[in-house]
Structure 1
Amino acid sequence: MRKKILVVLKGYPRLSETFIAQELLGLERAGFDLTLISMRKPTDKKRHPIHDEIRARVVYLPEYLHNEPLRVLRAFLAGIKKPGFKPLLRQFWADLKRDITPNRVRRFGQALVLVHEWPDNGEWLHAHFIHTPASVAAYASIMTGVPWTCSAHAKDIWTSPDWELSEKLERARWTVTCTRTGFEHMRDLTPTPESVHLSYHGLDLARFDAFAGQHSDRDGSEVSEPAFLLSVGRAVEKKGYDVLLRALALLPTDLHWRFTHIGGGDGLTKLKALAETLGISNRITWKGAMAQEDVLAHYRQADLFALACRVAADGDRDGLPNVLVEASSQRLACLSTNISGVPELLTDGENGFVVPPEDPKALAAAMERAIRDPTLRHRLGDAAEKRVREHFDHHSSIRQLTRLFEEQWQKEEQWRKSA
């Protein structure tokens, strides 16, 4: 019999995390009973259709402890009477000495609230992201004895200190991650590397069915028919949009193009100002966040998808951006950089354009080549779609997660009977 899983999330729903929503829906359809525990309330004004298909109840923890002091106080007073409180306090104190931040205290308080309220008689904890959601899950596990597992992704891996990753990996029953670079990094940090698994998110190909139409033969030679360049992603440092804008500004003056950006993010104002400074703002459309079906329409209309992934100053980076998989599924030629999981999808000259990060000249040269040669774009786009449909079907990921959960539950039952 499958257990009731409490899934700890940083925020829900989020437009930028369709890969998580896709996994949640896949697990529900596979017969899992989920309750979603969100550490933040939603800030996006729109929702993807997939969010309306997920049946799981959502419980919101206090995002900031001072916003709901009575709720936190009740949880604390109830918690100090429980036998698991002292072990939790010891672990929290050990963590706090190495990470003296309000964030650490917030995770402790959120875990106390989760334990006190313990929704829907949860029998298992699963955290999406190995940084803050895993902290809440790990603390709740210490206090309740309920086992936990984790899905790690990108920023959470590369911005977490090694000591914390190592300890969480050792305490979690198993951990999955979505790129080989993250997989290998985490396996190097744990004495139980067999508990770390590589699991690509994949794509729900029913939502991204094959594009029956044709991408255009625009080659940038006509003022009235500029090549349509597209990018989808939040305006944050790791997406490299400043590099992409500088590359666009380097394109030859006889090459006609227009660029559309879809996505929100705190950096939009600076990017718009940079486009003005570079003298290319009149060729750029900033769409803001859009629902999935609208993004899909843009993939089908565009001539080239570009994303200049980079490693941010704090170590943050993408894993394998889902938008590259989405765009590839629509036979749209993609241009990106050889960062993290991107080369696990795209091979330069075989099914996409791949250049070094932080290199506007290389990016511009690849864009110019792609724009001027529509036949090459079509060939690479066809090859990219073939790779996605053969290797990035999300059903394989759901089957893998199902097996991991059920094998671990069998082990837990055996341990319980032998204890």
Structure 2
Amino acid sequence: MSKKVTVILKGYPRLSETFIAQELLALEKRGLKLSLISLRHPTDSSTHPIHQEIKAPVSYLPEYVYQEPSRVLKSWWKVRSLPGYKKARSIFFKDLKRDKTTNRIRRFAQACVLAAELPDEVDWLYAHFLHTPSSVTRYAAFMRNLPWCGSAHAKDIWTTPEWELREKLADIKWLATCTKVNVDYLSSLSPDNDRVDLVYHGLDFDRFDKVGNDQVLRDGTATDQPVTLISVGRAVPKKGYDDLLKALAVLPKTLNWHFVHIGGGTLSKGLKLQSESLGLTDKITWMGAQPQEIVLEQYRKADLFVLASRITEDGDRDGMPNVLMEAQSQALACLSTSISAIPELIVDGETGLLVPPQSPKELSQAIERLIIDPKLRYKLGQAGAKRVRDDFSMKRGIDQLITRFMAS
């Protein structure tokens, strides 16, 4: 019998979360009957083609209580009679004492709506991300006496207090996370060793098929054949784009290169101003957020992929950025930083190059090295493509998730 799974997401659909869309479609194809619940309405102006293939119905919780007060009140009145409501309320008040924020209150209100509007035949609640989506899911799961599971990735782990992680891990049935670094940390907070699984996102190689790359052996000497650098990622602090701009600014003036950035983000305006102040305006194309087919087209035109990830003051960091796997799937040489799980994917000097985070000088030296040495770029690109295809296929991760969902 097919399992019925309600997936709780922070926002859906999102251009920056292709790994989630990829997983949802694969789970549907494997026979799970999914329904999607989002805490927020979409903000992107377009979607990826994969979003159109996902058949699961989508509904949205009240993003703020004041926007739909009657819906929240009606739901609260209904769930008050559920056997698990008192337990959920007790957990909520315990959390609220340590996190006295309107955000915490909003999550309980959303949980009341989720619990009130869920169909009776749901087998699992599945939260994508261990912060706010898991809070809503946890409260609702207690109200409805349902098992819940989840996934954890990056910011949701490293910016959530330990007390909250411990208590969620004590209640969750199982948790999938995408890096060994995450597994080690979360397992240290878990009540047992079998609760946290390493599940790499991997890639669907039917979508990221390898075709001929448009690059030639450019080396930065010809003005009419600049080396094309590309980076794909949101303009947020943990992506380190300010460090990358500083690195680009000190490249030798004799080198011919052009940088393409794809992604939205709150820092976009500031980064453009920074590029102007550094005299880089004519050397950069800011494309903004783009659907997957455009991103793939740009990978195939580029010579080098660069991502200057770093750990921010609040602990936020990348896990294993999917964009690195995507770029490597196209045999594109990759340069990144040695933080978090990036070294699980990129073996420095073998399948790409790594430099310390927040080190614009070393990043610049590595970029220069790769611009002037097309043979090294080719070697790293081919080795990276082989490693990704050998060890990071999506199918393995989906097999793991299906086993967990079908186990009970």
The TM tier, using the shorter chain, reads over 0.9
Alignment check: 8 A CA contact 2:351 2:384 kept: yes
Alignment check: 8 A CA contact 2:213 2:301 kept: no
Between the aligned residues of both structures, percent identity stands at 56
State how far apart, in whole Å, the 1-side matches of 2:214 and 2:115 are: 54
Alignment check: 8 A CA contact 2:243 2:360 kept: yes
**Paired AA for residue 161 in structure 2:** P
1:217 is matched with 217
Which secondary structure does the structure 2 equivalent of 1:10 belong to? Answer: strand
- 1:222-261 correspondence to structure 2 within 5 Å: 222-261=222-261
State how far apart, in whole Å, the 1-side matches of 2:220 and 2:102 are: 52
Which aligned runs of 4 or more in structure 1 are off by greater than 4 angstroms? none
Instruction: Please report how far the alpha carbon of residue 107 of structure 1 lies from its aligned counterpart in structure 2 after TM superposition.
Output: 0.6
State how far apart, in whole Å, the 1-side matches of 2:88 and 2:175 are: 21
Q: Is there any run of 5+ residues in structure 2 with no aligned partner, and where?
A: none
Which secondary structure does the structure 1 equivalent of 2:7 belong to? Answer: strand
2:103 is matched with 103
1:316 is matched with 316
Instruction: Please report how far the alpha carbon of residue 85 of structure 1 lies from its aligned counterpart in structure 2 after TM superposition.
Output: 1.7
1:262 is matched with 262
2:22 aligned with 1:22: yes
State how far apart, in whole Å, the 2-side matches of 1:77 and 1:39 are: 20
1:114 is matched with 114
2:280 is matched with 280
Alignment check: 8 A CA contact 2:3 2:405 kept: no
The CA RMSD over aligned residues, in Å, is 0.9
2:296 is matched with 296
- 1:368-383 correspondence to structure 2 within 5 Å: 368-383=368-383
State how far apart, in whole Å, the 1-side matches of 2:40 and 2:120 are: 19
User: What TM-score comes out, normalization by structure 1 length?
Assistant: 0.96
State how far apart, in whole Å, the 2-side matches of 1:404 and 1:216 are: 46
User: What TM-score comes out, normalization by structure 2 length?
Assistant: 0.99
1:156 is matched with 156
Alignment check: 8 A CA contact 1:179 1:198 kept: yes
**Paired AA for residue 303 in structure 2:** D
Instruction: Please report how far the alpha carbon of residue 282 of structure 1 lies from its aligned counterpart in structure 2 after TM superposition.
Output: 1.4
Alignment check: 8 A CA contact 1:35 1:119 kept: no
Relative to structure 1, the CA distance from residue 161 to residue 203 in structure 2 (aligned partners, 3 Å threshold; closer, same or farther) is same
State how far apart, in whole Å, the 1-side matches of 2:216 and 2:67 are: 53
Post-superposition Cα deviations, 1:60-93, rounded to whole Å, max 9, x if no partner, equal 1001111000100101111222222211111000
Instruction: Please report how far the alpha carbon of residue 309 of structure 1 lies from its aligned counterpart in structure 2 after TM superposition.
Output: 0.4
Relative to structure 1, the CA distance from residue 15 to residue 104 in structure 2 (aligned partners, 3 Å threshold; closer, same or farther) is same
State how far apart, in whole Å, the 2-side matches of 1:388 and 1:118 are: 39
Instruction: Please report how far the alpha carbon of residue 405 of structure 1 lies from its aligned counterpart in structure 2 after TM superposition.
Output: 1.5
State how far apart, in whole Å, the 2-side matches of 1:214 and 1:348 are: 25
Alignment check: 8 A CA contact 2:212 2:300 kept: no
**Paired AA for residue 338 in structure 1:** S
Instruction: Please report how far the alpha carbon of residue 120 of structure 1 lies from its aligned counterpart in structure 2 after TM superposition.
Output: 6.8
**Paired AA for residue 303 in structure 1:** D
Alignment check: 8 A CA contact 2:40 2:61 kept: yes
State how far apart, in whole Å, the 2-side matches of 1:325 and 1:141 are: 34
1:416 is matched with none
Alignment check: 8 A CA contact 1:215 1:332 kept: no
Which secondary structure does the structure 1 equivalent of 2:5 belong to? Answer: strand
Instruction: Please report how far the alpha carbon of residue 214 of structure 1 lies from its aligned counterpart in structure 2 after TM superposition.
Output: 5.2
Alignment check: 8 A CA contact 1:211 1:331 kept: no
